Structure 1
């Protein structure tokens, strides 16, 4: 695909704008609450967990933006996956606040040795369960990233997840499917120097993840009856540009349905 560099520049500037808006919003609303209270409420824990996810996701995606500028596109996608996982964690807890204990208190309890995994019949820890020290009962533990995608408040997150996560994961581990990115165009030698061949799709995907983070940020803060009219406008403008960019993605046939689900996901908030 012939790259329209003016359009590409517009997309990356919008990515940077979204990141700036996220950073300023986190700075304004992301106070740490539960850490400093003895009597922590579920609402306190949800607040802290969501802002942890938003902060981590924004920081990872800011690194992706720097890597895009230097044409290290595969590594930008690795960090975009981390940012996307942060979004799913936050969206899952926003929709299922009663699960925050499992993701915070139980996990901290395991790290500090207060909770433990029961042993299986073969004598190995069963990491899908934990022993509650107060009751002695074994409880279910752990939620997969796929289940999180199925349990957000947003239609089409689940439908988009499998293909999007597959796309973002191609470069995280050694994968022969994506090995061509590390060879010269004539396929004769391996090469460390970065390539700009997939710069458009990488930038669009990173913009999409930033939009997901921004959408969740707006919904969560406005659920506390705090108006965010300026950020609402940013979300809509970003979504409109993103939809146009997604329509111009030159995915292979196996990813065509991903474009459809991404467009539908954006449309519900724009």
Structure 2
């Protein structure tokens, strides 16, 4: 990689971390895209419109979502270089502009979630630590809408003593408060009684915390025992169910944005599609002309 290209990439990523609070995974993804582009152009900081056309040709077989991500990374990068005076022109208009349609989230219905809890509660009742842990994890995924990483990395001192809230550190290091239901608090109390001693994480594993991959595995194992398709169940699907079912119950979209830790309300609005039937029924029931 060229020295100037490396310096420009490092400066851009430092800005993302310091000014925008970008998460480590986001920064790593941007670095991979920018370094790969630097390898093609020879010096991404000095790339021309012709170089952008070459990149577009290199990316011709990518999925629209991947193409959109790479183009977005470069557009932001060149915008930064212009703002900082590293260069006077922006070659990024020559990049492709794919319309990557955001997929709608998969959602479990109430009956499917209920089947997960029936099995989890029966198994936890047997007293095995792994089963007690599974119920606590399930309660926090569906009852509080936590991301997988947020859940597995919860410190032990995050468990509420009096206040029914957890303090979560989410993407970009942003903190938020999420409610913990009485059911979840009971499940957490049961887990703390059988949790191995030592360690600073709520869900320890060896000398660290339970891994995200392991969380996926045990959740899908639970799905199979509940008679559900394991491929249909994941931590993120339960987070979607949390959001969807709250909307069905009448939750405000702004409140939901806060609970989910979304920086932009547009991210939260993806859930509104699943609540269309309730909105139609509301209009038919409450509109002044509904009974005319």
Q: TM-score range by the shorter chain?
A: under 0.3
Q: Which has the larger radius of gyration?
A: 2
TM-score, L = length of structure 1: 0.22
RCO (CA 8 Å, sep 6+): is it higher in 1 or 2?
A: 1
TM-score w.r.t. the length of structure 2 is: 0.21
